Structure 1
Amino acid sequence: MFLLCKEENETPGWTLLKLPGQAPSPRCGHTVTSGGHYLLLFGGHGTGGWLSRYDIYYNDCIVLDRVSAQWRRLPTSGDPPPARAYHSMTCVGSRYLLFGGFDGKSTYGDLWWLVPEGDPIAKRSPLEALPQNKDDSVHSRKESQSEGSAILELQKRLEISASVSSSGLQIVDELEDREFLELASGLIGDEVSNNGQKEIQAVRDHWRKTAPSSVKLKELGPLLRDYQRLITRNYLANGGADLTPTESRFLGSDSHRFYHIKSASKLRMDDIPKLLEEYKQLSSD
């Protein structure tokens, strides 16, 4: 393993790292994903044998602790994904999401979560299959009608923020919202933890106590996105496609007036008090 170091106003240089612990075997096509104080290495493609070489595909999890600078094997429960390389993996909060890969014979299109013990996802059963209908035309219509609700159900079970395709609006999770996390870090005076719940609450408490005239320009983007997150989770996650809730504190046609705005740059100065008022009601539910 090599480290590329760059000091300010200096030319970067490579350093060979020789780290203790249970280091991974030589391989390619693996992923190394950053999560908190750890780097998680998964899978990869190596070779074995001496006189006759053969391919080896891995499905092991090996962690590099950034604090102790040591490798260690990560024990996991349940059936692991089949061995593979050339896949993708990303960190979502304290969870890791794995997609695809190749094992020398087959190309995968499956999706796997690696989650901490006790995580709600680990306790949930797979979605039940939709019942079959003997009448093909009726079945086709039902399948089309159920597609939207099935996606919403999947989003609820995985606790993934919804993407509202009708407006082209992408709802991102708090832990993926860089500006939101920077604001949280500034409020608590420390780095954001893995689950981020304390920091998320600190930001929302801050906005609940803030007067419209005190909202800084750099806060408008995170504020608008969190407003949209709260609406999505409170109402769309209940299975409805309509942004108007059946039971809401908001009355009249002005309800959710800022939901479809894609950028805070579209807000006017006189929108800020209205946005903040709606936000305070949403975050207090």
Structure 2
Amino acid sequence: MTQATGAGGASRTRLLDVIASIGPPIAVISTVLAYFGWSQAAAQAKYMGLNVALFDFSDQDYVRFSVGNLFTPLVCLLAVGLCVLGLEKWLRGRIETGDRPAVRRIAGAAAAVGVLVAGGALLVVALQPGRTVLYAPYVVAAGVLLAAWATRLHWLAHPGKPEALSVGHRVGQGALIFGLVTLLLLWGAGDHADDVGRRAAMDIEQNLDALPRVELYSPSPLAISAPAVTETKLGTDAEPLYRYDGLHLLAVSGGRLFFLPDGWTVRSGPVVVLPDNDAVRVEYGH
């Protein structure tokens, strides 16, 4: 009975360790994806003279926006993580065979590299106040993680170490690293997303003709003031009908239609916003 209870306790402990290992990374990645998507959409809207709240995007929309721009960094992060896990397994094998001094030297060198990388990136940011240094927060986060991992490995290779750290110590240490890395990733995601949003707005300006061309039909005047938009009265006095040309569809979101007039630029040119209902008929073309 005691052995069964002990086996069950060991299984629960291993399960908790697995959850503790994969839970925080998943939470961090989900948070960064949502924040990056929101920051990107907000930056693009700002550069186009809009507010992101007008689009009424959902959390799923923000995650979808970020996947394309963060796919490569996330794949690289996964590859690095797998390499680190393989390296740690090999080093733990060296510890079990008694080659602790070599492992401590490797861990010490890795910790030093992590500190230098994080410190160097922070120095670059400090030397350029007021300017955005893209990817610098990511580099700092990588340096912090490398130093933390190497420090733990160095502790494991110490000949006089206790069998295990207290639960409180491990939780406190993990929470500190988790919080610091999360803040750094959010900082980096904000800077990166702002740059992506700005470039997306400029790309729309340079490739406006790639957006679908539309014609609007309305029984009442819409009073669109953009110079490139022409109004043509087609109906009769009894049944008036107005057609508007010279517009491109930007987006359909939040119960609204967003249009850009011919010749629209980031610095000048209005964005036409209409409710998405039956009051206005929209025809799409090339």
The structure with more radius of gyration: 2
Specify which structure has the higher proportion of strand: 1
TM class by shorter chain equals under 0.3
> RCO (CA 8 Å, sep 6+): is it higher in 1 or 2?
2
TM-score (norm 1): 0.22
